[in-house]
Amino acid sequence: MDIEKVVHEFEPVYNSDSRILMLGTMPSPKSRETGFYYGHPRNRFWKVLADVCDEELPVTRDEKIAFALEHHIAVWDVLAGCEIRGADDSSIRNPAPNDMSRILCQADIRAIFTTGTKAAQLYKKYCYPKTKIAAVQLPSTSPANCRMKYEELYQAYMVIRKYL
């Protein structure tokens, strides 16, 4: 698979009541195909958030947006664009960060969480110098993180509850 230039095409999910900001790295090919965040059928992001919030799993794009907003969760990605090979975050070259002030100036964000190591590294390097808000690194919910059992993932994500 070749490296391709990818531009982030999804709008962030947030409103003025959002309290936490969940940041991935960049939409995967499957997410770009489905047209929404964490779109791979084996990605555990929406399941773990639903379980943490004691809610039913949102399935459609509209249900996921409504779920996030109802629970004061903003969803976006660290990068606005990059060169990447498939969904391999380790292959990212020439990253261009999103401007976090777009959300931070309009919402009462009390905590920022990254979904994986690469998102955390990129946030720290490109976004933190401007936001001055440290991000808490959570484990990746990607199917590539198959070594982490669901229960471990759930326990790690429970930290967000104190901000909801």
Task: State the chain's mean pLDDT as an integer.
Answer: 95
Phi, psi dihedrals of residue 136, rounded to the nearest 5°: -90, 125
Q: Report the number of distinct structural domains present in the chain.
A: 1
113 burial via Cβ count (<10 Å: 0-12, 13-18, 19+) = buried
Angle at 154 between CA 151 and CA 158, to 5 degrees: 140
pLDDT computed for residue 87 by the predictor: 86
Q: Find the mean pLDDT for residues 48-71.
A: 98
Domain at 66, CATH number: 3.40.470.10
Q: Which domain holds residue 32?
A: 3-163
pLDDT confidence of residue 27: 93
pLDDT higher at 146 or 150: 150
Alpha carbon of residue 12 to chain centroid: 10
Q: Is 126 exposed, middle or buried (0-12, 13-18, 19+ CB in 10 A)?
A: middle
pLDDT at 88: 87
